[in-house]
Structure 1
């Protein structure tokens, strides 16, 4: 995207450098990284960076509206609703495809959004290793809003730990050590000191939660939640075997699980702006577009692209029994603008916000990027390609 930096990077790239980079990236980790890491970072132009920031600001403005919680109440499935919800999500993730507009300009287009944490620890670790292995210039940063490594980690601590001690806050997932993103849990633990626990590790006494830490029972004041309910749906009896986290408990959530649903595909029909694809709840569509090939059907309550109908066929819409739980969205056409040694590669960039208690609004902090040659972004669609996978975007300070 930044042509001069890209040319210089590609000219100096070697497979040996990439292999050494992966060795260093995995050094000292509890387990090797389980997802593919791309051969290159992304280098943003100032113009595209500014468009991303503008797009994010417009979306956040909708989330900040006083009636947002009322509008998004239907987003939360009753079986997944958790008690003691707070006033805002501590994390916001906005995914943008890199596209071209009708005039041929490179622009971001919103793909999806989450009121849920992403790889806030891992992305810092990844960027530092790219910088070292490929000699990325010091005037390039992965941070927004003038943040540095130290101020970013301070903001991360403020958001996750808040007023508590690190061992009073736990990073929690269903089976944390065996998640694909477990690398992020343990890197985050290294940065801010919060222990990693699984759902089955939670001990309930009254309405309080505890866990075993260094052989002692320790009170949990706050949960840094990485659990997605979709991942436990296959076991309807799970809350008969472990603590039912949906009940009123004397514990704080970062972010509260309900925000995963409030800030999601469900939010997209409420958004407007030049970087937002036209999106409607399916049951509110008055006239089915004639050019259905330019649209995609997405179920509201699915995870990681499951159930999405990319190529809508005759009868697909009529077969849907619960149209209120689907959206019809203008298809976003990624443009393969990243030049690899053997062709263009598509880019998706995730803006990552942090919103600690006491702040009036979220702070755009860091980013995540993914490269793809497949039909969709994601590991399962890019198994047989190189110059694809997880990465990070650098931009001018």
Structure 2
């Protein structure tokens, strides 16, 4: 995206440097890095960053209004409603594609958003390790809003832990040591000191939750929640039974509260009017299907990691959908194969991390991850036979 920097990076790149980078990264938690890391970061000029931030801020304007909770009440499936909801999510992730507009110019287009955590800790190690092996241009950083590594981690710690004793804060997941993102759980423990706990390990006594820490029953006061209900419902009956604690009144603080996974999601897109947010409608609200269906994509509201998305959509596909109220139809965006690599160019998607500090009126942009692709879908699971693809990060021009 910055031709001079891209040319310089590619000319200096060697497979030996990349292999050394991957070896170092893999050895942080040996045997646990299960997704591909791309050969390059994405260099983002200031103007492009500002366009993404403009879209994010317009969405934050909407969700910051008290009326948004009433507006988004139907986003939460009734059977999954969790009591004691906060007025806002502590974390938001905004996913943008780098796209061509009708004039052939590069611009961001919002693909999705989630009121849910991402790889907040792991990305620190990715950037640190990359910088050991590759030269970074001056005045570029993976952090936003004037943050650096130290202040970023201090903010993350303040949001997740606040002033609670660290032993009373847990990261909660389903079978965490089997998750492909488990390196982030281990990084969170290393950087913040909180234990990762499987939902099956929780002990409930009345409104209180406990877990065993070094064999000692320990109260849980704050839960850094990584459980996605869509994943929960694919588990055994025993695990699903343990998952019913979400619908119970508990003396815990959720970080973020699970309801925000639904309130701030694909469900929000039809309410947004912004040049960098593709036109989106609820499928059941469409009176007449677009005649140019090839320019649209259909997505289920309640899924994750791209599952269930129909890219080359037909009328028959839509007729086959039994619950159109749980789907959206979105104007397809033209991803730009803008990242020059050996062989074919790569497309890129950028995820901006927003953190909402306790007591603040609004969240702030903090850091990022990126994903490079040479296939139809962006994501590490869809490009396994390619190189110069996979997980990465952006370096933003200051």
TM-score by length of 1: 0.97
Q: Relative to 1, partners in 2 of residues 1:52 and 1:302: Cα closer, same or farther, differing over 3 Å?
A: same
**Counterpart in 2 of 1:28?**
28
The residue number in structure 1 matching 2:288 is 287
- String of CA shifts for 1:169-199, please: whole Å, max 9, x gaps: 1011011122111100111111111111111
**Equivalent residue number for residue 82 of structure 1:** 82
Distance 1:227 1:242, change over 3 A: closer
Q: How do 1:54-69 and structure 2 match up within 5 A?
A: 54-69=54-69
Match of 1:214 in 2: 214
SS in 1 for 2:247: coil
1:379-390 to 2 correspondences below 5 Å: 379-390=380-391
1-structure distance, mates of 2:313, 2:206: 51
TM-superposition CA deviations, 1:303-332 (whole Å, max 9, x none): 221211111123222232222111111011
Q: Give how far 1:144 is off.
A: 0.8
Which is further off, 261-270 or 127-136? 127-136
Q: Counterparts of 2:393 and 2:183 in 1: how far apart (Å)? A: 16
Q: Is the 8 A contact 2:371 2:380 kept in 1?
A: no
1:70-109 to 2 correspondences below 5 Å: 70-109=70-109
Task: Indicate the residue corresponding to 1:112 in structure 2.
Answer: 112
Instruction: Quote the offset at 1:360 in angstroms.
Output: 1.1
1:52 paired residue number: 52
Alignment-derived partner of residue 247 in structure 2: 246
Q: 1:232 maps to which residue?
A: 232
Deviations 1:89-124 (A, max 9, x none): 111001000001122221000101100000000111
Q: Deviations over 1:129-159 (max 9, x none)?
A: 1111112134210111101111111110111
Please give the alpha-carbon distance, in whole angstroms, between the structure 2 residues aligned to 1:203 and 1:30.
Answer: 30
Look up the SS of the partner of 1:86 in the other structure. coil
Cα shift at 1:343? 2.4
Separation in 1 of the partners of 2:296 and 2:75? Answer: 22
> What's the secondary structure of 2:231's corresponding residue?
helix
Secondary structure of the 2:103 match is: coil
CA contact (8 A) 2:32 2:182 kept: no
2-side partners of 1:162 and 1:123: how far apart? 22
> Larger deviation: 262-271 or 232-241?
232-241
2:165 alignment partner in structure 1: 165
Unaligned stretches of 5+ residues in structure 1: none
Residue-by-residue CA offset, 1:194-228 (whole Å, 9 max, x unaligned): 11111111111111011111221111100000010
1:337 — aligned with what? 338
* Matched residue SS, 1:196: strand
Check the 8 A contact 2:200/2:239 in 1, yes or no.
no
Residue correspondence of structure 1 range 322-361 to structure 2 within 5 A: 322-361=323-362
- Residue deviations 1:231-274, cap 9 Å, x none? 11123553435662321111110011111011111110001100
- Deviates most, 215-224 or 231-240: 231-240
1-structure distance, mates of 2:244, 2:55? 40
User: How many residues in Structure 1 have an aligned counterpart in Structure 2?
Assistant: 397
Report which stretch shifted further, 136-145 or 277-286: 136-145
Q: CA 1:259 to 1:242, structure 2 compared with 1: closer, same or farther past 3 Å?
A: closer
Match of 2:15 in 1: 15
Q: Distance in 2 between matches of 1:214 and 1:321?
A: 49
Q: Take 1:380 and 1:99, find their aligned partners in 2: how far apart are those partners?
A: 21
> Residue 175 of structure 1 aligns with which residue?
175
| Contact 1:199–1:243 (CA under 8 A) maintained in structure 2 | no
Contact 2:232–2:243 (CA under 8 A) maintained in structure 1: no
Residue 130 of structure 2: SS of its match in structure 1? helix
- Equivalent-residue separation in structure 2 for 1:107 and 1:248 (angstroms): 45
RMSD: 1.4
Structure 2 regions of 5+ residues with no counterpart? none
Aligned-partner Cα distance in 2 for 1:173–1:291: 42
In structure 2, how many angstroms separate the alpha carbons of the residues matched to 1:59 and 1:80? 24
